[in-house]
Structure 1
């Protein structure tokens, strides 16, 4: 517990190394929800984006170094418009690709069962490419990922290879994917809230000692004590006690107190 708390403190104290330099608005709720729990710590996130990127020069291994060396000509974490794309393309040279990248989240977890909880919520929310990795030193990382990506080359060596009509089709497709991405984020956030609350309620459920001190158990112990000591009670007292125990309203209240 203490080791993970130190790891979390170091992680959250680091400067944001992303190009944007801050958490995306649509991912912020999930990030805050997880970091408020001592057993979780977010390592990186992106709420999903549509972008135009210029790839590295052809004389390099551009596909291996694509993310590191590419130049962004346009990026948005919301729906994109044709005007934005066409304006960026007019100023572009080299090899240009159009991409949609869905929500991604990496979370450090204290124990494997914590990662499994997040994994279950992620899969049920539609992020079916999610997974868990365990490092050599025992570091547990849960990655929330999806497969509904989109990547299409638009130009080569400065020459546009597709029609304007096809670009409109790509934008429409990317925006549909973004809408679905937003729905999945909402499902993940709501499912996460419920899962964390359920886990907390289970951990805070009444102990055996607490249940033993409930009025039902107290009355039963009292009756056994009376019987053991040979003390006689009237049939009226005995029936009244049984009626109290068998009263449906009383049972509902007792059940509610134990479960809630």
Structure 2
């Protein structure tokens, strides 16, 4: 336990290694929420972004990669076209959704945060400096990416609310069960059973179409192992 506390303190004391040198606003709120608990330590995060990158065509995008454009807000076609004017290699248009990497003290803490979502977009636009798609298609991609950005923000809000509820239910295990980690694990099981019993008592609630464990962030408390 002490080793995790030391590692957390060392990590949080480091300068931000991102290009921005600061947390994105929404990710910062979630980082503060988790880092206030001794069982969690955030490692890296991003609110979600649209980026246009240029590579040398080797297929290794993280090496020899130039960022031509990046935004954490909705974009317009002219943003992409301006970026393409600077392209010399293989350009890719991407939408990357919210991501949050968290170090957890114990396995059951990680299980509480077991969330998965697929909400990406990645499309090649040019090859060796030559544009391979029409401007009309680029405008369509921008529209799709902006829709994904809007949905991404809704998911962050749902995740934040759900995380607050789950932490309120689970984190008191530190004081309720001081005997050892096997005791603290039981709080997750008991909370899950109680929630299941409540749902059985109220079977009228139906999941919305997006409420599946692969694509919805507001169900993370439901997929505790």
Normalised by the length of structure 1, the TM-score is 0.64
Equivalent in the alignment of 2:99: 104
Structure 1 residue 93: Cα displacement: 2.0
Matched, 1:164 2:135: yes
Aligned to 1:66, what secondary structure does the other structure show? coil
By relative contact order (CA 8 Å, sep 6+), the higher-ranking structure is 2
Number of residue-to-residue matches in the alignment:
177
Gaps of 5+ in 1: 123-127, 129-145, 206-260
Provide Cα deviations, 1:183-225, integer angstroms capped at 9, x if missing partner.
11111111110001112456666xxxxxxxxxxxxxxxxxxxx
Equivalent position to 2:110, from 96, 115, 130: 115
1:228: which partner in 2? none
Secondary structure at 1:172's aligned position in 2? helix
2:70 is equivalent to residue 75 of structure 1 = yes
CA gap 1:203/1:10 in 2 versus in 1, 3 angstroms: closer
Secondary structure in structure 1 of the residue aligned to 2:113? helix
Residue in structure 1 matched with residue 47 of structure 2 by the alignment: 47
Shift of residue 31, structure 1, vs aligned partner: 0.8
Find the partner of 1:150 among 97, 118, 121: 121
- Greater Rg over alpha carbons, structure: 1
CA distance in 1, matches of 2:16, 2:109: 25
1:5 aligns with 2:11: no
Cα distance in 1, alignment partners of residues 171 and 6 from structure 2: 22
| Distance in 1 separating the partners of 2:43 and 2:64 | 22
The equivalent of 1:187 in structure 2 is 158
The answer for the alignment partner of 1:89 in structure 2 is 84
- State how far apart, in whole Å, the 1-side matches of 2:106 and 2:54 are: 41
| 1:67 alignment partner, SS class | coil
Structure 1 Cα separation of the partners of residues 145 and 171 of structure 2: 38
Offset of residue 118 of structure 1: 1.1
Displacement after TM superposition at 1:78 (Å): 1.1
* Closer/same/farther in 2, CA of residues 173 and 45 from structure 1, 3 Å limit: same
Measure the CA separation in 2 of the matches of 1:118 and 1:3: 21
| Higher fraction of helix | 1
Q: Distance in 1 between matches of 2:23 and 2:173?
A: 31
Q: 2:62 aligns to what SS in structure 1?
A: helix
Match of 2:145 among 160, 169, 174: 174
Output the CA distance in 2 between the equivalents of 1:73 and 1:161: 17
SS in 1 for 2:149: helix
For 1:19 and 1:200, locate their aligned partners in 2 and report how far apart those are by CA, in whole Å.
Answer: 33
Instruction: Give structure 2 stretches of 5+ with no counterpart.
Output: 177-225
Alpha-carbon distance in 2 for matches of 1:202, 1:11 = 25
Partner in structure 1 of residue 209 of structure 2: none
